[in-house]
Each structure stands twice: as C-alpha cells, then as structure tokens.
A and B are shown apart, each in its own frame.
Chain A
C-alpha cells in the first residue's frame, strides 16, 4: 500500500491525486449548482413576464403626431407620419444609413403611414424627443443621436435603428404589441 501514500518525487498522478482532483471538481460543481438558483432568481419573475402584450387603437393618433404608450415598462412610439415625412423616409437611399434597412421593412404592409417603434435610444436608453434633430424624426438629448422619420439612426453614437417591436394588426385600426 506504500505507493498509495503518494511519493512527492514521482511526477505521475497516483490514486490519491485523483481523489483530490475528483473531490475538488465535485465541490466546484456542487457550488455552481447551489449558486445557480440564487443567480437565476434575479431573472425576470413570472409576473413581470406576464405583462407581455397590450392592444392599442390607432385612431387615437392624429396625423403628424405621435403617442407614447408604455409596454413592459418601456415607452413605445406610435407615429402617424405626414405624407412628406413618409416620402422622406422612403426616398432615403440605403447607402446613407448607418444601420441599413428600408422603410417598408419597418412598417406593416398597407399601414405604412403608421410607424411603431420602441422609444428607447439604442445608445444608452434615453427617450429621444419627437420631431427634432437634423432628420426630422427624433433627437436624443443624452448623447446627441439623430433619427429620421423612419426611426433609423442617421447621426450620433447610437449603433442601431429604433427597434420595431413585434406587433400585428388585429383589425384595420387596432394593433397588438407583443
């Protein structure tokens, strides 16, 4: 049994080394298993996730205006664009965009005058102000991002266009977000 005691001059692992490593690995594994429920408890709770969808009546928005609604704790912009604003958004060449996306891909077919986007600047989440900035869409006061009338980033530090949430038309005038 002498060889089981472990010879410090022998570089080869023996049975005792194996037991040490196995016990250490088991302890790390058990530690991770204990830590996981604690970490996971910080993820969104069931009631938070339950607030997943809302409905909105599009007739409430006047032409050339926007309404801000709260969805999942975040603002959603619903904007009724004037023909000129719409035309500007459609006419912009993709090459002029930082995050290229056609206006048609950002609205629902047949409802192109209505733009529905999340109201958080894609930079650091501030709420851009309506109808300002160099491109007539939105301007974020926090760090100076300019969005156009399609909610696409044109100038400033924001990397992406304003996010179009998942939504669908339930009828001609009613949408469901989420």
Chain B
C-alpha cells in the first residue's frame, strides 16, 4: 500500500505540462488506484462519511456566518432571522445543527471500529493519535458552536465548561478570566468563541490530511487485522476506485437518508427547548444538560465528588485514548480472534451508552423504581450517581487494567495467514481450487 508505485500516465498535453510542474492529477490518480484490502466491511465506510460531514459543516457554516451577528445583543435575534427571513436559512441551520450530531454518530462508530479491529496497533499508532486529536478538536468546535445562538443552554453551557478551567489550582482563576475576556461570560467571550469556531474546522481539515497521510504510509488495516504480505498484495487488495468509491457512495446515500429524517422531519429532536430562550445571566435553567454526544464525558465529570478531580477524570477519559496503542499488550489486532477481549469490548460499548444515559439524568434520581436502598458514602445506591460511578470505573478499567492484562493472559484464536483464508475455509487445497474458479468467473 505504502510502496505502491504510480501507474498514472499523463495523456493530454496539459496533463503532461502539469505533471512536471504540479503533479496534482497524478496525486489524485494514485489516490484512486490505491491498493485497498479486499475484505473491508461496512464499518470501514465511516471515514468517507466523516469526510463528507466535515465538508457539509464547513459549507453550511460559512454561509451561516454571512448572516449571523456575534454580539450578545444581536446574536439570538440574528439566529431567529436566519430561521425566519433568510432564504432557506432554516434548512441551512438545521443541516448545520443536526450535521454536528451526524458527525458525532459517525465519529463514535469510526473510533469503535478502530478499537475493535485493533487499528491503533503498530505500525498505525500515528493514525490513531491524530484521530484522537481530531476527536478532541471536534468536541471543542461543537462546544464553541453551541454557544453562538446565545440561548439559555448556550450561555450556561459556556459558563459550566469554562468553569472547568477555573478548577485548576492557583492558575485556574487568571486563565479563566483570560479565556472569557472578563469576569463573566459576555460579549468578549461570544466574539472569541465565534472566531475560534470558524478557525477550528480548518485545523481539523489539516489534521485530516495528516490522518490520511499516516494511513497511506502505514497501510490500511482490515477486519482480519493482519498485514498483507508483499507477495499477496495483488491477490488481497483492490484498487480504491471503483471498488470502495462505490461502497462508500452507497453508504453515503443511506447516511443521507438518516440525516434527512432529522433535518426535515425532526430537526429539534436532538436539541433543547431551553435554547429557544435568550441567554439570561441571572437565571439558570432548571436542568442543564449538554448535547447528547458529550453526555458520557459529562457523566464522568459528575461522578467524581471533587471539583478538580472531576475535571481531571473528564479530560482523562479522552486523554487515555491517546496512549491506547501502548496499553494494549496483545499482538493480535482484530478482536475477531480475541474472544475474551471481544466480550469486554461489547461491555465497553454498553457502558458507554449507559454513561450517556446517566449524563442526561439528575444525579440523585433513582434508577429503578422510586424506592430508596441505602446511603453509600454520599448518595443512595439506587441513584444515577452510583450507576455513573460504576460505569466510570469500568470505562477507565477497560483501558488501564483489562487491556494490558487480557493481552498478556488470553489465548487468542488461530490467526489466518492471509485475508482470503477465513473466507475460503482455511484449507489450502480448497483455497486454491475456489480461487481458480473465482478467477475464471471474474
């Protein structure tokens, strides 16, 4: 993959002229001809979906910025104007707002796919790390964007999240004032958030280039998780175009259907009614919750009774992802061949969803029924507080204890030598026979 040679031959005069000056057509042609493992399943199409998400967000965002006014007096009204008066403004804004949710659905599936198939292991650590960086930037960008409509949730979300910085001992307070540009969230804050919300997507785009560069240097992983030996390159790979462009294209159509359901039929399903009330620095909404995609991390923040500890845990939950390649001690990439780890993985996905659910509930509310059990340290055992704590414990244990230990102690299933072996029943004789047949047909 990485050592694949250019097969592009410039044909027309202008292509030849360009090829010795700026070989951009060659770059594109090589990209499309890239040998890609032939066994990629649908979980591998989310990279393309994410690319399209980023383009949609930037395109709709640039247009929205032409109508939006980043001023505390006018921001809310300008968003209402976009919704009511600007031509097609409601659809553009709903696309942008729901596009963020679609982006996160895709990014979570994309990351879990990488986790399941061991796409972070050598030689692909840098793909994973840059990916984590993109994820972090994505969260930051989504948060900054959520503040811009200057509704109640915008304002109080900004208040709570910037206050996290204030939890840092000694230097927290001055940094907090610097970050907000004043003693409280105000016009200075809104202006800089707008500026950064416009900037970060392009930083993300730059990181995506690095992500792909690393991907094409280390080579794409596949569901079997083995590196494709050189002599199998021809048999086990397919050119990216048309095989995967078509597969990605099909998935994009399905993805757009889901996207459309939200944009056209339930555009506010993922939002909060409180954000339709203009920001009021003197009244906090009764129940403030972040957008759904931040709920698991918000739950972790609330699980810790100490303020700074909670902030550390929340950032640690993202930070631990960066060192994942070195926490996993197993040499086997794909969890297809790691039955023990697969069980823990499925549990991890469930715990992630539970954390998200907990993040949306009041901490003191009971989980089952309405009865009280007994007070454990500082809360009833039958409360979201304790459910969140158990889930948080598993979240960290999964990375810090289970991953290193299981890798050392488990007995993985036999790993196929080639990616076609599992499909073709493993026996070499049959392998060869079927392949010969397939080649005749194909």
* A residues whose Cβ falls under 8 Å from a Cβ of B: 39, 42-45, 48, 68, 70, 72-75, 119-120, 123-127, 140-144, 155, 157-159
- Given A127-B282, A141-B286, A142-B284, are A73 and B181 also a contact pair (CB < 8 Å)? no
Does more than half of chain B's interface fall in helix, strand or loop, or is it mixed? loop
Residues of B within 8 A of A43 (CB): 177-178, 181
Give the residues in chain A near B186, CB-CB below 8 Å.
48, 73
Closest to B160 in A: A124
User: A169 CA to B329 CA in the complex, in Å?
Assistant: 66
- Could you tell me if A157 and B307 are in contact, using CB atoms closer than 8 angstroms? yes
Question: 4 new A-B pairs (CB below 8 Å) besides A44-B182, A141-B287?
Answer: A72-B183, A126-B284, A157-B304, A159-B308
Contact with A along B178-221 (1 / 0, CB 8 A): 11011111101000100000000000000000000000000000
Task: Judge whether B283 and A74 touch: CB under 8 Å.
Answer: no
Q: List 27 contacting pairs A-B, 8 Å CB cutoff, sorted by A.
A: A39-B178, A42-B178, A44-B181, A44-B182, A44-B183, A45-B181, A45-B182, A48-B183, A48-B186, A73-B183, A73-B184, A74-B183, A120-B159, A123-B163, A124-B159, A124-B164, A125-B160, A125-B163, A126-B284, A126-B288, A127-B284, A141-B287, A142-B156, A143-B363, A157-B305, A157-B307, A159-B306
**What 1/0 flags go to B264-299 for Cβ under 8 Å of A?**
000000000000000001111111100000000000
> Within residues 374 to 388 of chain B, which ones have a CB less than 8 A from any CB in chain A?
378
Q: Is the CB of A73 within 8 A of B182?
A: yes
B127 to chain A, nearest CB (A): 30
Chain B 62-75: CB-based contact to A (< 8 A → 1; otherwise 0): 00000000000000
Are A68 and B307 neighbours in the complex by a CB distance under 8 Å? no
A142 with B281: CB separation less than 8 A? no
B372 to chain A, nearest CB (A): 15
A72 to B285, CA, bound (A): 21
A74 pairs with B281, CB closer than 8 A: yes
In Å, the complex CA distance between A107 and B425 comes to 82
Q: What 8 A-B pairs have minimum CB-CB distances, sorted nearest first? A: A73-B184, A124-B163, A124-B160, A127-B284, A72-B183, A126-B284, A125-B163, A48-B182
Once the chains are docked, how many angstroms separate the CA of A42 from the CA of B181?
5
B159 contacts A75, C-beta separation under 8 Å: no
Residue B121, interface by CB 8 Å:
no
B340-387 interface with A by 8 A CB criterion: 362-364, 378
- A129–chain B nearest beta-carbon distance, Å: 8
On whether the beta carbons of A127 and B188 are closer than 8 Å, the reply is no
**Alpha-carbon distance A48/B187, docked complex (angstroms):** 10
Complex Cα–Cα for A45 and B178 (A): 10
Q: How far is the CA of A45 from the CA of B177 in the complex (A)?
A: 11
The listed residue (A48, A120, A141) touching B181 by CB distance below 8 A is A48
Closest B residue by C-beta to A155: B378
Residues of B within 8 A of A44 (CB): 177, 181-183, 188
Give Cα A171–Cα B307 distance, bound, in whole angstroms.
39
Least CB distance from B338 to A in Å reads 38
B188 touches A143 (CB 8 A): no
Neighbour of A142 across the interface among B160, B177, B282, CB < 8 A: B160
- A68 engages B282 (CB within 8 Å): yes
Contact in complex: B282, A70 (CB < 8 Å) = yes
The closest CB in chain A to the CB of B164 belongs to: A124
Chain A residue contacts of B306, Cβ below 8 A: 157, 159
In the bound assembly, the distance between CA atoms of A75 and B288 in angstroms comes to 18
Q: A44-B183, A144-B363, A157-B307 are in contact. Are A127 and B160 (CB under 8 A)?
A: no
Q: Which residue on chain A has the smallest CB distance to residue B378? A: A155
A123 proximity list for chain B (CB < 8 A): 163, 307
Q: Establish whether residues A143 and B181, one from each chain, have CB atoms under 8 Å apart when the complex forms.
A: no
Task: Kindly state whether residue B114 has any CB partner on chain A within 8 Å.
Answer: no
Residue ID in chain B nearest A123 by CB atoms: B307
Known: A70-B282, A143-B302, A157-B305. A126 touches B181 (CB 8 A): no
Residues of B within 8 Å of A159, CB to CB, are 306-308
B residues less than 8 Å from A155 (CB atoms): 378
Residues of A within 8 A of B362 (CB): 144
List the A side residues contacting B61 at CB < 8 Å.
Answer: none
Q: In the bound complex, how far is the Cα of B163 from the Cα of A74, in angstroms?
A: 13
